[in-house]
A and B are shown apart, each in its own frame.
Chain A
């Protein structure tokens, strides 16, 4: 194996004028270019495929599991109705997933998307191309948010489909009222969509820990530990404002949609809380990233 000496120049074609890129690649949005490439990289990762597979078949596996047993997850909202209405199933998944699966799922990707470049030492490879730090940051951030959103959408679809397979009978709401099938479908979708803001908040949190620590274990682990900590904290008697600043609280805001009469106050507070977490974590991540020294300087 040898370098083809003397053949490079025909291909290098040095220009005579001022420095120019390959053909001014900034004609297209650098952020979108990075975003597209990050998604392609994510598709090649086994853990992303595993999460996608879980989102795809998980709800159906749960339905199959519930069908072979008479017991119900009675301590979960809608748990007692899983054998009487298919609409209860996506809500049970949401009730459980909102506490654990969704924060962990998004952290697995977002907590690694920056620090994996540290792990592989590839920052210096990609930062010496035609893209700025800002474009790389935004593209990666967007890719992590895209993954979280796509996983959520997939779960909404498969959860609803799995529920519909189990039955389309009206379901009993949290206020004791009977909710018709068409209205229940709307409420399932809206409830799932209502947890998007805290999921994106956890995404930003995981990105910040990933950027700050340069370590994937920390990037993924800290949001997971925080999720656990939030669970513990909610068990103690916190004042109302204390509960509202926790990023886990908005995961239960959808309960208000199923009450009689319905209310959206917790959702709006949750939206604000999630926005604050998202903004602070994003800004902190960018501040750390924009001036950091990249690997190996002696």
Chain B
């Protein structure tokens, strides 16, 4: 990394076009050492293109990319030294076993990578499947094999594109713990996701991409400070009385939901006070759940997304926080 900037990754004005489509539009992206940095954005935001550019799989049309302070031209063949990871679903030779695949990759890496194969397979939870052909692996197993392949390189920068795709909850939990531990030991992790909740749990800093542009860049706590109120789903014994009470409560806004119950916009403290007041007034609370976290709300504002694909969010039109135009969002705080 450069002593001048201290950045592990430094992208300045990076643009990439695929025909008429702008995949990256003058992107500035920096990552400091030893953090887990989330790269967020809806599908098609440019996350994979940016990660592919870091790996040299995609060559930017404009701008400068530095890894550990060196451009590709300056680093030459050593551009990816100390860098590991994968973009999209890790892919392997289906006709070879998991172990043979890692042997091929270790052969490309050289050094002592081959000696780490069995250890890596064991730690990825693939010891029992090491001799099976990869074509029989599930998506989650391929993700694990991708992680094992990355760790053969003893990375100082680990780049993971949607690493939890196909993983079971236990695997996701373990990955989260492992990534935090890696960061504590000085490994910088870039983790792309379209899942804000997942990023909240793992990351120290975050960059939000939308339509190839940076919509937000900064520490997660700074993002929280900018975030709007969370959205709650509330079911009561008397929605009319609950609506009336909301009008009288400071910092609380409530509206009816098409499917019954209420949608309440309130920060944690006003919400606590509101619920206690309802109880004192004899309004039964039959259900209360956090529907959209503050960071999710901000993410949706930044990206103009009404929810994630496949989600069954049922907030009625007009009630949802109106999306802000990404171009108007003043962002790009320098990540410390």
The smallest beta-carbon distance between B85 and chain A, in angstroms, is 7
Produce 1/0 per residue, B78-122, CB < 8 A to A.
101111111111111111100010001101111111001001101
Within the complex, which residue of B78, B93, B116 is in contact with A122, where a contact is CB–CB below 8 Å? B93
Does A288 reach chain B (CB closer than 8 Å)?
no
Given that A22-B154, A124-B55 are contacting pairs, would A34 and B93 also be in contact in the complex, using a CB cutoff of 8 Å?
no
Q: Chain B's interface: helix, strand, loop or mixed, by majority?
A: mixed
Binds A, one of B41-49, B291-299, B323-331: B41-49
Which residue on chain A has the smallest CB distance to residue B150? A128
Which chain A residues numbered 10 to 68 have a C-beta less than 8 Å away from chain B? 11-16, 18-28, 30, 33-34, 36-37, 40-41, 44-45
Does A126 reach chain B (CB closer than 8 Å)?
yes
Number of A-B contacts (CB under 8 A): 218
Which residue on chain B has the smallest CB distance to residue A136? B108
Give the A interface residue count (CB, 8 A): 56
Could you tell me if B82 and A11 are in contact, using CB atoms closer than 8 angstroms? no
Could you tell me if A298 and B47 are in contact, using CB atoms closer than 8 angstroms? yes
Chain B residues whose C-beta falls within 8 Å of the C-beta of A41 in the assembled complex: 93, 96, 104
CA A126 to CA B124, docked complex, whole Å: 20
Within the complex, which residue of B59, B92, B107, B128 is in contact with A293, where a contact is CB–CB below 8 Å? B59
Chain B residues whose C-beta falls within 8 Å of the C-beta of A295 in the assembled complex: 57, 88
Place the interface of chain B in its size category.
35 or more
CA A121 to CA B58, docked complex, whole Å: 15
CA A5 to CA B154, docked complex, whole Å: 16
Which chain B residues numbered 131 to 179 have a C-beta less than 8 Å away from chain A? 141, 144, 147, 149, 151-157, 170-171, 173-178
Could you tell me if B82 and A21 are in contact, using CB atoms closer than 8 angstroms? yes
The smallest beta-carbon distance between A286 and chain B, in angstroms, is 15
Chain A residues whose C-beta falls within 8 Å of the C-beta of B258 in the assembled complex: none
The smallest beta-carbon distance between B157 and chain A, in angstroms, is 8
CA A51 to CA B278, docked complex, whole Å: 81
Could you tell me if A44 and B49 are in contact, using CB atoms closer than 8 angstroms? no
Given that A12-B155, A12-B187 are contacting pairs, would A125 and B149 also be in contact in the complex, using a CB cutoff of 8 Å?
yes
Could you tell me if B86 and A37 are in contact, using CB atoms closer than 8 angstroms? no
CA A21 to CA B155, docked complex, whole Å: 8
Does A129 reach chain B (CB closer than 8 Å)?
yes
Does A294 reach chain B (CB closer than 8 Å)?
yes
Could you tell me if B44 and A298 are in contact, using CB atoms closer than 8 angstroms? yes
Which chain A residues numbered 257 to 298 have a C-beta less than 8 Å away from chain B? 291, 293-298
Does B247 reach chain A (CB closer than 8 Å)?
no
Within the complex, which residue of B16, B70, B82, B181 is in contact with A20, where a contact is CB–CB below 8 Å? B82
Other than the known A12-B151, A33-B107, A44-B96, what 14 A-B pairs have Cβ atoms closer than 8 Å?
A2-B171, A11-B119, A19-B81, A23-B110, A30-B77, A36-B107, A124-B55, A129-B80, A293-B58, A297-B18, A297-B23, A297-B57, A298-B46, A298-B49
22 A-B residue pairings within 8 Å (CB atoms) = A3-B144, A3-B171, A5-B176, A9-B184, A11-B119, A11-B154, A12-B151, A14-B182, A14-B185, A15-B82, A19-B157, A20-B81, A21-B80, A22-B154, A23-B111, A24-B111, A34-B108, A125-B90, A126-B108, A130-B108, A296-B87, A298-B48
10 closest Cβ contacts across the A-B interface? A25-B110, A22-B111, A23-B111, A19-B82, A121-B91, A5-B177, A3-B174, A294-B57, A5-B174, A21-B81
Residue ranges of B at the interface with A (Cβ–Cβ < 8 Å): 1, 16, 18, 23, 43-49, 52, 55-59, 67-68, 70, 76-78, 80-96, 100, 104-105, 107-113, 116, 119-120, 122-126, 128, 141, 144, 147, 149, 151-157, 170-171, 173-178, 181-182, 184-187
